[in-house]
Structure 1
Amino acid sequence: MPSTHDTNGPGALLGNPASGGFEAENHLQGFGGFHGGLALALLTSATQSHVPDLELQSVTGRFDRSIESGFTVASSLVRAGRTSAVVTARAESDEGLHIEASAVYGRPGEPSWQPVAPAAPTAPPPDECEVFAIPPEFVPISASMQIRPVGSARPYAGGPDPELIAWVRLLEDDNAPDVLRFVFLMDALAPSYAAVLSQLVLVPTVELTVRPGAGLAKASSPWILLRARTLAASAGGWINEQIDAWDPDGTYLGAAHQLRVVRAG
């Protein structure tokens, strides 16, 4: 189900990312700037070149300011040991530092230990769920994705529970997500805390950590099922959110954690 704008969409960009510099083109914008998950995926791509024989275990991005124009990416190897390595990357522009990321890589190891993973929530298949249309003038990058919510919860609908569950995919092609697409898609949903809000306020990301699971290497569908849940929220507006992902066959694909903050003004 390719789209008509797949030649320079996020999937194509991640499949062959340019080195060094990027333009914050309008179709790659999220809410208020270059999409955060896409930016973190590009930084992750930059870290991969330092450790081509290792697998990403975790990447954390700290978002200092939104990206609204061209930016450059630089990366460096911090430490390389027998079983793991740490690589950092930065997104900068003339305005200064925008995002600083730190990635942990490791060797997969022998399959000697009992795996543990959360079970997928009960959900009908994607084609039985209605499309949640986000106006592209509001979030331009949404034109490259399709989101099909599971259940009745919606962002800013004043619901009782700070949780959102939805099927998500890129529309550019029918490829299953690789590591870079996974990092991007883990930031595809609205903040789960928005499910209990009844007015439109910003809940931007301050820090995003993505941890791919072993099942991601066996993913066979472009669809992933995301469950985003606010674990805790302070009266001051700081949000602790967890996001889990599964393949349509129930295989656990990995997790993300977001630190967000509500900005009413």
Structure 2
Amino acid sequence: MKQLTRYALTDEFSAMPIGAGRWSADIDRSWWGWSGPHGGAIAALAVHVAASAAPEAAVRALDLRFVGRPSEGELVLTPAVLEVGRHTRVVDVSMTQGGRAVAAASVTLGRVGPPHPDDVVDVSRVSLPRPEDCEPFMIPPEIVPMGGHLDLRPTDGPLPLSGSSEAWMRAWISTITPMAMDAAYLALLADCLPPAVFPTMTAPAAIPTVTFSMHLTAPLHDPTPGPVLVRTANVSTSGGWSVDDTTLRDPSGRLLATARQSRRVQTPTTR
């Protein structure tokens, strides 16, 4: 199944080693977001490259910063591994296009121990419809092309651009091309819902991600492809910046990961 994970990413983003520890990838236009390569795809690639550079450890956290504007063309990812103690690794991944820096990531990896009776496990008891009982929702691919790669099924709450008073969304999400359940897959899905302020709006606006972080909260023992319950909520939009918090859960309600994004609001977020 580990090979399936790598196959899915290399198949979707043409990712491959190019020597000296570096990787090459190409996020084609079908995986673009509002105006460029989908941020979740870049996050997934950073996690994938870091995990390949430190295969003896498991991904625990990701911090990603966009330092330039990604565009069309080859993306070169260069990892640098730092050993922190016996079982922890920090892998810094620089990402460039045409020699120009576009993003930088720091991925923390470490040994995951066996379950213990004192473990704190977050399992949601909220009753929600199963994926097969939810109607699909298509993100218009003519506006956001990567929407065509997703099976997205809202469970409850407001929909984007509905003029709601509530700034949150929740949906079962999976990729139409099955991908194994690993940290790279979660990084991809964590950025697949629109900005959480969108339900309060009636017209789209450019709200690009500047920083993205994700923390794994549960071991990913079962790599079988499947839907993930993703909930994103806007915690602040003011002064031209917007902050979203996101949770990702498996079908049993177990919390798999949390994520946070800071976004730049490029146009007013008026209803």
> Unaligned stretches of 5+ in structure 1?
1-7
CA deviations over 1:130-153 (Å, ceiling 9, x no partner): 111122222222111111112241
Q: Is 1:116 matched with 2:112?
A: no
Q: Is 1:25 matched with 2:28?
A: yes
Q: Distance in 1 between matches of 2:66 and 2:94?
A: 10
Q: 1:89 to 1:129 in 2, by over 3 A?
A: same
Please name the residue that 1:144 is paired with.
149
Q: Residue 122 of structure 1: SS of its match in structure 2?
A: coil
Q: Is 1:204 matched with 2:202?
A: no
Q: Is 1:188 matched with 2:187?
A: no
Q: Distance in 1 between matches of 2:207 and 2:113?
A: 38
Contact kept, 8 Å, 2:83 with 2:89, in 1: the verdict is yes
Offset of residue 116 of structure 1: 3.2
One-letter amino acid of the counterpart of residue 48, structure 1: A
Please name the residue that 2:255 is paired with.
252
Offset of residue 189 of structure 1: 0.5
One-letter amino acid of the counterpart of residue 12, structure 1: D
Q: Distance in 1 between matches of 2:221 and 2:164?
A: 36
Q: Distance in 2 between matches of 1:52 and 1:191?
A: 33
Contact kept, 8 Å, 2:9 with 2:45, in 1: the verdict is no
Offset of residue 243 of structure 1: 0.6
Q: Is 1:37 matched with 2:40?
A: yes
Please name the residue that 2:173 is paired with.
168
Q: 1:115 to 1:195 in 2, by over 3 A?
A: same
Please name the residue that 2:163 is paired with.
158
Superposition TM-score, scaled by structure 1 size: 0.88
Q: Residue 218 of structure 1: SS of its match in structure 2?
A: coil
Superposition TM-score, scaled by structure 2 size: 0.86
Q: Distance in 1 between matches of 2:146 and 2:210?
A: 20
Q: Distance in 1 between matches of 2:125 and 2:223?
A: 15
Q: Distance in 2 between matches of 1:11 and 1:78?
A: 25
Contact kept, 8 Å, 2:47 with 2:184, in 1: the verdict is yes
Q: Distance in 1 between matches of 2:201 and 2:177?
A: 32
Q: 1:249 to 1:12 in 2, by over 3 A?
A: farther
Q: Distance in 1 between matches of 2:59 and 2:202?
A: 38
Contact kept, 8 Å, 2:49 with 2:79, in 1: the verdict is yes
Aligned residues: 255
Q: Residue 160 of structure 1: SS of its match in structure 2?
A: coil
Contact kept, 8 Å, 2:181 with 2:222, in 1: the verdict is no
Q: Residue 245 of structure 1: SS of its match in structure 2?
A: strand
Question: Which among 222, 245, 258 is matched to residue 242 of structure 1?
Answer: 245
Offset of residue 41 of structure 1: 0.9
Moved over 4 A (4+): 8-11
> Unaligned stretches of 5+ in structure 2?
1-6, 18-22
Please name the residue that 1:49 is paired with.
52
